[in-house]
Amino acid sequence: MEFHQDNVAPSAQFAIAAEARADIPARDALLDRAMGPRWKKKSSEKLRRGRLPAEGLAFVARDAAGAVVGTVRLWDVCAGEKRALLLGPLAVDPAAKSAGIGSALMRHAIGEVTRLGHGAILLVGDAPYYARFGFSAGKTGELAMPGPYERHRFLARELAEGALDGARGTLVATGRRVVRERVRAVA
C-alpha cells in the first residue's frame, strides 16, 4: 500500500484504498464525528438509502496504523435521460483535517470514475471546496435533488465533455439494491 506524504510524522501519513466491508462500522462512526447525525437526513441520502455504492467506487483513507481516517463513495443515478454518479458523503476525521486527505480522496475517486468510463459526477457541497476539483453549478441548472437542498451547492463535473448536455429533472437512484440476508428461524 502506497502512503502519501512520506516525509512527515506517522500521524499525517495515509493511504487510499477500496472500502472493505469490515471498514463500514469505522466509516459510519467517522461520519458521525465529522458531520454529526445530520448526514443521515440529507436529500442525498434519499438517493443512497437501500442501495449499494456504484461498483468499485467506495474508498477509504487509512492512517499508518490502518485506522479509517477518511471516506468517500459514489452512487449510480439518472439525471433525466443521462446516467451520472452522485458523490458523497466525503468526510475526514476531524483529528486529521487539512492534511490533504480530502483532496487525495477526491483525486483518487475522480481518477477511478474516469478510468471506469463514467461521464459525470454530481454532488451537493461547498463550492469553494469542490471548485478546486473542477466542480461548478454550471451544469445543474435544469436538475434537482429529491428533497430540500441549497441550489448553489448543487454541483457537477463532466468527465466526458457534454455528458450532462440536456440533462433535466429530479435525480433518481439507479444503483444495485441492498439485499438483506434473511435468517429463517428453524422450528
Ligand X SMILES: CC(C)(COP(=O)(O)OP(=O)(O)OC[C@H]1O[C@@H](n2cnc3c(N)ncnc32)[C@H](O)[C@@H]1OP(=O)(O)O)[C@@H](O)C(=O)NCCC(=O)NCCS
Q: Based on the number of CB atoms within 10 Å of its own CB, is 157 exposed (0-12), middle (13-18) or buried (19 or more)?
A: buried
3-state SS class at 130: helix
Query: Cα angle vertex 44, ends 132, 29, to 5°?
Result: 85
- For residue 40, the Cα-to-chain-centroid distance in whole angstroms is 14
Binding span for ligand X by CB under 6 A among 4-12, 95-103, 110-118, 171-179: 95-103
Would you say 78 or 137 has its CB closer to ligand X? 137
Would you say 102 or 175 has its CB closer to ligand X? 102
The answer to whether residue 103 forms part of the interface with ligand X (CB under 6 A) is yes
Beta carbon of residue 158, minimum distance to ligand X (angstroms, whole number)? 20
Query: How many of the chain's residues bind ligand X (CB under 6 A)?
Result: 16
3-state SS class at 178: coil
136-165 binders of ligand X (CB under 6 A): none
| Residues in touch with ligand X (CB under 6 A) | 34-35, 90-92, 97-103, 125-126, 128-129
